[in-house]
């Protein structure tokens, strides 16, 4: 794995990522690490991290991993994504690690895990179209 802390490439900071407070920590070699800290604005009606915010974290991390295999700019779009939500998040931050499993000419398959400390919060797999 050859990840770098320099995330200025690959569209590291979209307006939507900034709105959610996503922190892109490392990107490179088909992998990415992105952190999300729970704020009151990201809570659902039960006071937990909203599933949509968690999905956005996962989609962003998988997109960054996918883009890191391209020429430095956005090079793919999400076709589909399946997520297993495993445990709720009540406070603190979560870390998503995404990795490209298959990089074809037309599509890529990417997996992601979201952890809070050593506890698995969510697991996902997505397909991306190369553009």
- Using one digit for the tens of pLDDT, what is the confidence trace for 31-70? 999 999 999 999 999 999 999 999 999 999 999 999 999 8
Q: What is the pTM of this model?
A: 0.91
Contact 87, 121 (CB under 8 A): yes
Residue in the structure block whose two tokens are 């996503």 = 22
Domain boundaries of the chain, sorted by first residue: 15-130
CA-to-CA distance for 90 and 130, rounded, in angstroms? 36
Radius of gyration of the chain (CA): 14
Domain 15-130 has CATH 3.10.129.10: yes
- Quote the pLDDT of residue 2: 60
List the structure tokens of 92.
Answer: 């603190």
- Using one digit for the tens of pLDDT, what is the confidence trace for 6-34? 455 444 568 999 999 999 999 999 999 99
């Amino acid at each position: 794995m050859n990840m770098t802390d320099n995330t200025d490439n690959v569209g590291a900071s979209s307006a939507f990522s900034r709105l959610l407070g996503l922190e892109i920590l490392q990107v490179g070699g088909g992998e990415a690490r992105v952190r999300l800290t729970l704020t009151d604005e990201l809570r659902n009606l039960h006071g937990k991290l909203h599933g949509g915010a968690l999905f956005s974290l996962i989609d962003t991390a998988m997109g960054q991993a996918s883009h890191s295999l391209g020429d430095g700019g956005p090079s793919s779009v999400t076709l589909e994504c399946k997520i297993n939500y495993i445990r709720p998040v009540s406070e603190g931050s979560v870390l998503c690690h995404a990795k490209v499993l298959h990089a074809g000419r037309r599509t890529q398959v990417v997996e992601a895990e979201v952890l809070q400390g050593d506890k698995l919060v969510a697991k996902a797999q997505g397909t991306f179209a190369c553009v």
